[in-house]
Amino acid sequence: MSNLSKPIPPAGDQDALEVEIRGKTFRGADGDAVRAIDEIAFSVAPGSFATLIGPSGCGKTTTLRIILGLDREFDGRLKLPAGGGRIAAVFQEPRLLPWRTVEENVRLALSDEDTGRDLDDLFAVLGLAEMRSRYPGELSLGLARRAALARAFAIRPSLLVLDEPFVSLDEQTASRLRTLLTDVWSARPTTALMVTHNLREAVQLSDRIIFLTERPARMRGVYDITTPRADRDARWREATLPALAKRYSGVL
């Protein structure tokens, strides 16, 4: 049996991700101050999967940049899982080096002590076993995004951050990738936070959905999903999606 098929404890320690942003303002192209975030506060339990949803331009990606340490000019505080453990990010673009193979791109993220680690199970579960020696230019967008997921999971992160990783894909391809993400994440339930505009995607993947208002972002609500992922079938989705859309109207 593949090692990835055996659930193991969450990576890192048992700290939750805690985010409290009491204000974020940046300077626009015209020189005027733009208030991106008014006040948001939420937590993500260790080893759970949460999703941020809100209108375009409301500050979701800004929130991810703050969590990743790419933007430190904000009023508030963060508490990251594992006290400074590894953080992996998956962006809208796969960001693969075109002159390196899929496997080389994935292994670039590994630490020196992990350089030679066996990644067979990871490539297998993501359907990349036959693509390891291919170059990014030979891959479809869906396959390139699988490679980006492999690179993120390869470092065994304490926190996984995803910024609309399936945007612009057709629904069939996106659905297949969401299933693959669920498979690899369930085998190693790293604390994860994803931004998406797709409510269907959120209810398929998440334990918690965090709804934000339009800019400047404030908390609209938090919805916890207790139904096991295996039980979130078509009938469950048909009942859940309209209820959530009505409850948080104007957010999507």
CATH number assigned to the domain comprising residue 199: 3.40.50.300
In a domain, 238, yes or no: yes
Domain containing residue 218: 3-95+156-247
In a domain, 34, yes or no: yes
In a domain, 219, yes or no: yes
In a domain, 104, yes or no: no
Counted domains in the chain? 1
CB atoms within 10 A of CB 133: 10
Six-digit token string for 39 = 């006040």
In a domain, 220, yes or no: yes
Whether residue 52 contacts residue 201, with contact meaning beta carbons closer than 8 Å, is answered with no
> Which 3 state secondary structure label does DSSP give 198?
coil
In a domain, 123, yes or no: no
Q: Note the pTM of the prediction, 2 decimals.
A: 0.87
Beta bridge partners of 208: 50, 224
Q: What are the E-state strand segments in 12-153?
A: 17-27, 33-44, 49-53, 75-79, 87-90
pLDDT per residue rounded down to tens, the chain (252 residues): 333 333 333 443 457 899 999 999 988 778 788 898 999 999 999 999 999 998 888 889 899 999 998 888 899 999 988 655 789 999 988 999 999 999 999 999 888 777 878 899 999 989 899 999 999 999 999 999 999 999 999 998 999 999 998 888 888 888 888 988 998 898 888 999 999 988 999 999 999 999 999 989 999 999 999 999 989 998 999 999 999 999 988 766
Rounded-to-integer distance, Cα 23 and Cα 74, Å: 6
Name the phi and psi angles at 20, rounded to 5: -135, 110
In a domain, 28, yes or no: yes
In a domain, 178, yes or no: yes
